A and B are shown apart, each in its own frame.
Chain A
Amino acid sequence: MTPFPQLPPDRSLPRQRHAAARAQLQRYATSRRERVVQRWRGAAVAMGLGLGLAVAGGAAAGTVYLTRGPIPTVNGRLDVAHAPDFIRVASSGLAVGYVPKRYILPSGPGTPANGLVGEIAPVYGPDLKTLVGHMYPGIGYVALGTSLRSVSCTPESDEENGTTSTLPCPSVTETVPDVAGMSTPEGVVALQEAGVLAVVENAHSRAVPGGHIVRTSPRAGARVPARTPVVVVNSLGP
């Protein structure tokens, strides 16, 4: 019988993966937050201020009381400490429903509200139980049973490294840029800037050196709806 094997030694994350993951985390923690804050703030303001908290649900003994309404503001800043359990949200100035505050509340006192970026928040009706739709990060309200692409959407700014780029809506058509031959991280950034979502897959290639892009699918020049996933074939060398 073979002896008990030795535990493999520690390794570090591959360098490029480490750098890419770090950059993503930084963006996740900062710039995307700004977008969501703006959107929620807009929603709260659109619904009018000072309506205060309302009590929802019955008043029978043992009932859990839930509050609902907009996030109150103090001196123009969101007063998150007094936010209700369900935050009222609006789309094009019309109330659409209520989102549980855990999706949009901040981490601590003195910090601005943020929207738990990357998560799709459920939107409930006035009874706070019936699901009526979802809030999509970067897009906004999408009613239940509605196609994401059919939703009217206002392009928003994404502040990264001091520059402002525009994220197109799913209803907008984009052209896949030609990134073949570029280094994979560069190509991924180029695709993101073009408004499509890059999904990296690996393949061996004799013609293209490792770490560079062999081709994309759909190919360069194809017209696709914005935010469509585009497969980037990354070369692993021969």
Chain B
Amino acid sequence: MGPEKLTDAELWQRVATHDGEAFGQLFDRHARAVYNYCFRRTADWSTAEDLTSVVFLEAWRRRRDVRPYDDSLLPWLLGVANNAVRNAERARRRYRRLLAKLPRSVDLAAHDVEVDARVDEERTMHEILGRIEHLRQEERDVLALCDWSGLSMDQASRALGIPEGTVKSRLARARAQLRDLEALHTDSGHMVEVNPE
């Protein structure tokens, strides 16, 4: 029989009593979501690797503030990730001693195809970030949390510590601007009709 599957809240209780294995299990569970969130905000896989570790180290440091929501720690972790991304350099400096101990993309070396794919993805993500650059930072935050990482508006409001109504209005504004942007790109190939009087 396999080990019983503990909820995030139960695991976090164990983490609070310095249970390293529980911390490891939470890392296994959420590292991928945090990693992809960090990548989508930075367009750099290697920065995202560092920031993923930073998020969990920061989670440990701020463990007294942790509030698992609906038995999931992910909204809170992505909230931490959001701050880590904004202050990427400061966050990495804080944990540089620990980050220095981690090997850097070692197992990529053998897979050149994957390296190419990653480079392409970074280029694509750069382009996407460039196109949404004109959105306000707060709008980009809710867009990334809800549309890119699949949080509900309720969860995003927990992650950012703002009311759900605010998430809703920011998301609506961000999506509307994106729709305009896509329409602009689609239409730009057409002739603009001018009605001569």
A contact residues vs B (CB 8 Å cutoff): 1-18, 20-31, 33, 107-108, 110-112, 114, 116, 118-119, 184-185, 188, 192, 197-202, 210-211, 229, 234-237
Say whether B18 contacts A21, CB under 8 Å.
no
- Knowing that A29-B18, A185-B106, A188-B101 are A-B contacts, what are 11 other residue pairs whose CB atoms are under 8 Å apart, sorted by A's residue number? A4-B182, A14-B49, A21-B53, A21-B56, A22-B31, A25-B20, A116-B61, A118-B57, A118-B98, A197-B97, A229-B100
Q: Which of B103, B131, B182, B186 contacts A200 (CB under 8 A)?
A: B103
Say whether A25 contacts B105, CB under 8 Å.
no
Residues of B within 8 A of A23 (CB): 24
- 9 A-B pairs with least C-beta separation: A210-B109, A26-B20, A8-B121, A30-B20, A107-B16, A236-B109, A1-B188, A199-B100, A29-B23
Q: Please tell me if B70 contacts chain A, counting CB pairs below 8 Å.
A: no
Residues of A within 8 A of B121 (CB): 8-9, 11
A146–chain B nearest beta-carbon distance, Å: 20
Can you report 10 residue pairs joining A to B where beta carbons are below 8 Å apart? A3-B186, A4-B185, A6-B124, A8-B40, A10-B32, A11-B118, A24-B53, A28-B57, A202-B104, A211-B110
Residues of A within 8 A of B176 (CB): none
Residues of A within 8 A of B101 (CB): 20, 24, 188, 192, 197-198
Q: Please tell me if B17 contacts chain A, counting CB pairs below 8 Å.
A: yes
Q: Closest A-chain residue to B124, C-beta based?
A: A5
Residues of B within 8 A of A211 (CB): 106-107, 109-110
Once A and B bind, how many residue pairs between them come within 8 Å at the CB atom?
164
Say whether B124 contacts A8, CB under 8 Å.
yes
Residues of B within 8 A of A202 (CB): 104-105
Residues of A within 8 A of B61 (CB): 116, 119
Say whether B45 contacts A11, CB under 8 Å.
yes
Render B29-70 as a binary contact track against A, CB cut-off 8 A, 1 for contact: 001100110011000010001001100110011011000000
Say whether A111 contacts B109, CB under 8 Å.
no
Say whether B17 contacts A111, CB under 8 Å.
yes
Among A5, A14, A236, find the residue whose CB has the most chain B CB atoms closer than 10 A: A14
Given contacts A14-B49, A118-B95, contact A27 B20 (CB under 8 A): yes
A184–chain B nearest beta-carbon distance, Å: 5
Residues of B within 8 A of A185 (CB): 103, 106
Given contacts A8-B121, A188-B101, contact A25 B106 (CB under 8 A): no
Say whether B110 contacts A210, CB under 8 Å.
yes
Residues of B within 8 A of A235 (CB): 109
Among B19, B63, B104, find the residue whose CB has the most chain A CB atoms closer than 10 A: B104
Q: Closest A-chain residue to B189, C-beta based?
A: A1
A230–chain B nearest beta-carbon distance, Å: 10
Say whether B104 contacts A13, CB under 8 Å.
no
